[in-house]
Amino acid sequence: MGSKETPYKVTLTEEEMPKAWYNIQPDLPNQLPPPLSPMTKEPAGPEDFIPLFPMELIKQEMSPERFIEIPEEVREVYRLYRPSPLHRAYRLEKELDTPARIFYKDESVSMAGSHKPNTAIAQAYYNKQEGVKRICTETGAGQWGSALALGCKFFGIELQVYMVKVSYEQKPYRRAMMEVWGADVFASPTDMTESGRAVLAEDPECPGSLGIAISEAVEMALKRDDTKYSLGSVLNHVCMHQTVIGLEAKAQMEKVDAYPDVVIGCVGGGSNFAGVSFPFMMDKLAGKSDVRCIAVEPTSCPTLTKGKYEYDYGDEAGLAPIVMMYTLGHKFVPSAIHAGGLRYHGDSPLVSALVHEGYVEAVAYPQTQVFEAAMTFARTEGMIIAPETSHALKCAIDEALKCKESGESRDILFNLSGHGLLDLKGYEEYMAGNLQD
């Protein structure tokens, strides 16, 4: 926590943008349990991932290096929207009458409106380098699908997106974004895959889930030699690509003599939370700070707060690698909340391990409370934010109100991971009193 008064926003020049991603794996107190092959149930090696990912991403997934250089071709695309600004939420602080200083890292400034392009651009680049012609992926709320559609368009790669059916219906304009950038989008579960047909046979009205959509995308990727699979969260290399968020935030807070007491991010699979928190967690693991890192999820999909820490499949059909993580079970189908990006049965092995070992706290909130927080933010700071981001905001507000009670001044940083301009249906339902938890 610092004492220097800060401007409304703190910026970096393009030259100050990070030149390397931070890989937290070498700094973990204990090594991650190895992923297992879905076929043999034995520890998986690089050869088990070759059908799904380009080799460079496989190397990053298992890398012992603390920092991995960001290719200049990726940094060139990053420059379209990075570095993103760090804001001081003065108006929200005044509304809450809190001595806390609230900062947010604004990832909504990307072309896709969220943090997702940070890894989508990198993944598209590495696939292009290895001659991949087509990528298959899944998406929940559509933020990942639209980001990867953008990345694939920049690098000339075809894209198929399996979009969770309830989000496909709730968020037609997110689907339109993907199609504008050239992607083919399908409501999952579909009748195009064996895994999709199996789900529909049991429940023709199934609203879908990220686990089901992953199964469909993985199955389609395995059928063609020129096609790979891409995941927007959970995996180690995805979390690493997102650390540009926290690395920038660290540099920005240093400019105003500040350091967070609390770092907060919402969690579906874990990538945006990892992105903002891991660069600060580096200091905590080295004994240089006692920063609190809080992962926030919906009560309707309480993976970290009520799930089991055990090996489980990443997808519904059991085609993806088996990893040690907090999970609600790979057959779990969550309720149709508007925060579609948080409707996943499992979590990042990295984030899960840090929660399990007590380095990261986890909390959960019901849908109506996070929309209430989002309304407060919109009416003070002026920004309409995504339902996913609103979970992190709700936690930041609660932490600020604790400071009001105690009289302590703390620096609170949360990741504003996306705007909510394509989520206004949820706001409309909240204002009409029709939103349920």
pLDDT tens track for 225-240: 899 999 999 999 999 9
**pLDDT for res 340:** 55
* 39-57 confidence digits (pLDDT tens): 889 998 888 899 999 999 9
**pLDDT for res 1:** 43
**Mean pLDDT, rounded, for 21-25:** 98
**pLDDT for res 366:** 95
* 336-375 confidence digits (pLDDT tens): 555 556 768 899 999 999 999 999 999 999 999 999 999 9
Greater confidence (15 vs 48) lies with: 15
Average pLDDT score, the chain: 94
**pLDDT for res 409:** 94
On whether residue 180 sits in a domain, the answer given is no
On whether residue 165 sits in a domain, the answer given is no
**Mean pLDDT, rounded, for 316-321:** 80
Containing 59, the helix (H) or strand (E) segment is helix 55-61
Residue 437's pLDDT band (cuts 50, 70, 90) = confident
Range 98-110 burial, b when 16+ CB lie within 10 A, else e: bebbbbbbbbbeb
On whether residue 367 sits in a domain, the answer given is yes
On whether residue 1 sits in a domain, the answer given is no
C-alpha 342/C-alpha 328 separation (Å) is 13
Query: Domain of 392: which CATH number?
Result: 3.40.50.1100
312 by DSSP, 3-state: which? Answer: strand
Nearest Cα neighbor of 253 from 115, 86, 38 is 86
**Mean pLDDT, rounded, for 397-421:** 97
On whether residue 344 sits in a domain, the answer given is yes
* 237-278 confidence digits (pLDDT tens): 999 999 999 999 999 999 999 999 999 999 999 999 999 999
On whether residue 63 sits in a domain, the answer given is no
Q: Count the domains in the chain.
A: 1
Containing 49, the helix (H) or strand (E) segment is helix 46-49
CB 164 within 8 A of CB 186: no
Beta-strand relationship, 158-164 and 184-188: parallel
Nearest Cα neighbor of 341 from 81, 145, 152, 207 is 145
CB 359 within 8 A of CB 291: no
DSSP labels for 206-269? ----HHHHHHHHHHHHHT-TTEEE--SSSSHHHHHHTTHHHHHHHHHHHHTT---SEEEEE-SS
Residue 6's pLDDT band (cuts 50, 70, 90) = confident
- 């905590």: which residue's tokens? 284
Greater confidence (1 vs 178) lies with: 178
On whether residue 163 sits in a domain, the answer given is no
On whether residue 412 sits in a domain, the answer given is yes
Range 357-368 burial, b when 16+ CB lie within 10 A, else e: eebbbbbbbbbe
**pLDDT for res 337:** 58
Report whether pLDDT(179) > 50.
Answer: yes
Tell me the residue range of the domain where 300 lies: 9-20+71-114+237-431
**pLDDT for res 137:** 97
Greater confidence (150 vs 422) lies with: 150
* 68-110 confidence digits (pLDDT tens): 999 999 999 999 999 999 999 999 999 999 999 999 999 999 9
CB 298 within 8 A of CB 342: yes
**pLDDT for res 318:** 80
What share of the chain in percent tops pLDDT 90? 84
Number of H helices, E strands in the chain: 18, 15
